[in-house]
Structure 1
Amino acid sequence: MTTRSLSDEERWHIVQDKDRRFDGHFITGVHSTGIYCRPSCPARLPKRENVRFYACAADAEAAGLRPCKRCAPDRQSNEEAAVLAIIDEVRRAGETIPTLDDLSRITGYSPQHLQRLFKRATGLSPAAYARALRHDRAQAALSANESVTEAIYAAGYGAPSRFYDDQKGRTGMTPSAWVKGGEGVVIHWAVVATSLGDMLVAATDKGVCRLSFAEGPEALQRRFPKAELNEGGAAFAGLLAEVVATVEDPTRGHDHIPLDVKGTAFQEACWRVLRAIPAGETRTYAEIAAAAGNPRAVRAAGSANARNNVAVLIPCHRVVRTGGDPGGYAYGSAIKAELLRREGGGDKGE
């Protein structure tokens, strides 16, 4: 399908998906706010009746619209194309991480400028992005219950030592514990009554690994069948009190509460984005994906949200559907609505 053959309805679907592949091919004009945007603009989706489509920025400005400050549709996208070219090259490279000089020859930018450009767009250097991509592949293989060694080589690592080097500084259980259902890990747990219903809280010595509603220790046993599960404990009591206080008042800061979570590199990036959303605000899956460094991975962002093991502390209740619909929640729409109400229930506006 060529861009010229796109109907307005097809353009609207592209805008709903925030598909960056169509940036530069047409412009979205929002006449209720008087601005025009790229198709991939991360701002909240406008109402369809307020949208008109234009071939280029000049046409939108001729209609009296001004450029969006957030997605800057009036600026050239050569730098964005360079970032995407780097991502494609890194994905093709496999185990070998391209050097900045290699990437510089591909994109035409100096190595120093390229490093700054890529880090500004993704939050990572090209080398760190390549390592995160390999780690992502390894975690996917580990989740499929392959052996640790098989998963490491399948992900493109030349040796297990390189995978364990990448593990340094990452939170969560060791890779072997991930595969073996928590083998060798001690988990303390409790089920406590809250104003939102009974709540299961569980933690390793590194931090909270499970927070859920209407679940008991049998759910924990299913997730970590080989872990040592101990109810309560004096050292656990203080952490439990902090967690309960946060659930009862989700506006209070909880960055000081340690977590022990494990996911793919992208899932963990999404969880960091979720934790950065201020209380009283919401984000869409597309916005989460973009902030996590991969605007095209909207579905993967939804999957990361669904795989969140630590409700409230990783506030997946702050994610809404495009258009503002609150969407679903693992523990029921009533709990989600109440959490949002306690936080102020706000969204970002038009």
Structure 2
Amino acid sequence: MSQTIEPRGPAPDEEALWQALLRREEWPGRFYGVTSQGVVCRLGCPARPPLRRNVRFFGAVAEAVLAGFRPCLRCDPDGSRAAVHAAAVRAACAEIESAEEMPSLAALAAGAGYARHHFLRLFRAVAGVTPHEYAAALRARRLGAALASGERVADAVAGAGFGSESRVYEDGGKVLGMTPGAARRGGAGEVIRTAFGESALGPVLVGMTARGVCSIEFGTDEASLRAALAGRFPAARIEAADAPVREAVARVLAWVEEPRGALDLPLDLRGTAFQKRVWEALRAIPPGGTVDYAALASRLGMPRGARAVARACAGNGVALAVPCHRVVGRDGSLRGYRWGMERKRALLAREGAAGGAD
């Protein structure tokens, strides 16, 4: 697995840089020029390593350019291609937002000056979702804002660009996380049933709607956990547990004691289209396995999306069932965890004992 090395102190010697080049390690602030091709690359470039005699090392892309090298088109060491791509995607997003009907992928690609399939990959790499998913999320935001302002459901649905009111009611859980009527009332009327338990990792509270578990939270005590849940769902009616919620808590507690297999619960996930993509990818990581943020981003078609993936992990409100604790740093070190680093360390230790390392 590759790793990122932060430069410290004086510049490293060329042998260390050469070995990093061969291992394709990312090394911020270090670049190499290939004299036989006239290009400058960042350390970590996926291109085939050149011969040692054809390599010169630099501390900045500008330094290499002054020496007669041009930026590599593959690894984009100065970020110029990434900036062009980001601008093209921003323009496409603006076109989607201003259009009365969703523009076709072919039209968006033509406007950006790319082939259709290339533009689809580019849009997903930059935005984290496809143009269709972006448009769907935009419609949902517009619908939610209109309903929250008190518009009639029929007017809000039409204004947001949905083809029919029945479609929104039929798929209300996916569009808004609740029915349009409940959204118009600020979420009032939605019921979340809760149950509390004491696990080996401390107090845990499970919240469940009619669609599935919407919250699994660890904390210090029951009162603070209930207050946090009310903060996440301020307009919902929070009630005591019924049988399905008590069963869900029992399964959570049993899983903490012996984490074998997935914590298989019906889920009601609340998030953006991109967050849900990340959360579904997390659910595919088995107990005992880990993945780093950059590798997970690459699996999602976003080779430079490690930070976006980390933000999606931080937004997960369903511990264990969406196992964001299995995401680590490139060097295997533990990074942030919503429910505390000690719990993350304990979870990984328990899973390692049960299922072995990845």
Shorter-chain TM range is: 0.5 to 0.7
SS of the residue 1:281 aligns to:
coil
Give distance in 2, aligned partners of 1:226 and 1:137: 18
Tell me, what secondary structure is at the counterpart of 1:211? Answer: strand
Aligned equivalents of 1:136, 1:61: Cα separation in 2: 50
Whole-angstrom distance in 2 between the partners of 1:86 and 1:264? 22
Cα distance in 2 for partners of 1:260, 1:278 equals 21
- Alignment match of 2:199 (pick from 172, 194, 202): 194
**What letter is aligned with 2:318?**
V
Equivalent positions of 1:25-36 (< 5 A) are 31=19, 34-36=22-24
Give secondary structure in 1 for the equivalent of 2:310: helix
Distance 1:245 1:209, change over 3 A: same
Say what the alpha-carbon RMSD is for the aligned residues.
Answer: 4.8
Structure-2 residue corresponding to 1:243 = 252
Alpha-carbon spacing, 1:305–1:148, altered in 2? closer, same or farther (3 Å): farther
Is 2:271 the partner of 1:232?
no
Task: Spell out the pairing of 1:264-303 with structure 2 (5 A cutoff).
Answer: 264-292=272-300, 294=302, 298-303=306-311
Which amino acid is 2:22 matched to? G
Equivalent residue, structure 2, for 1:335 = 343
Correspondence for 1:63 among 52, 61, 64 = 52
Higher RCO structure (Cα 8 Å, ≥6 apart): 1
The AA in structure 1 aligned to 2:211 is K
Aligned residue in 2 for 1:101: 106
Matched, 1:209 2:198: no
- Aligned position for 2:323: 315
**Where does the alignment leave 5 or more consecutive residues of structure 2 unmatched?**
8-16, 34-39, 55-71
> Residue 181 and residue 137 in structure 1: after superposition, are their counterparts in 2 closer, same or farther (change >3 A)?
closer
SS of residue matched to 1:134: helix
| Structure 2 residue 174 is the aligned partner of structure 1 residue 185 | no
Describe the shift of the 1:310–1:138 C-alpha distance in structure 2 as closer, same or farther (beyond 3 A). farther
Identity of aligned residues (%): 33
**What is the aligned length?**
299
Where do 1:77-156 residues align within 5 Å?
A: 87-93=89-95, 94-96=97-99, 97-106=102-111, 111=116, 113-114=117-118, 126-132=130-136, 134=138, 138=142, 147=149
Instruction: Name the amino acid aligned to 2:333.
Output: D
Q: Which shows bigger deviation, 234-243 or 266-275? A: 234-243
Report the equivalent of 1:170.
174
In the alignment, is the contact (CA less than 8 A) between 2:196 and 2:206 conserved in 1? yes
Deviations 1:286-321 (A, max 9, x none): 444454455555444333222211111111212234
CA distance change for structure 1 residues 127 and 200 in 2, over 3 Å: closer, same or farther?
same
Q: What code does the residue aligned with 2:93 have?
A: R
Q: Following TM superposition, by how much is the alpha carbon of 1:335 offset from its aligned partner in structure 2, in angstroms?
A: 1.0
Task: Give the secondary-structure state (helix, strand or coil) at the position aligned to 1:246.
Answer: helix
Shift, 1:190, TM fit: 1.0
- What is the Cα deviation at residue 338 of structure 1? 0.7
Q: Is contact 1:251-1:342 (8 Å) kept?
A: no
TM-score for both structures, normalised by structure 1? 0.64
Q: Which has the larger radius of gyration?
A: 2
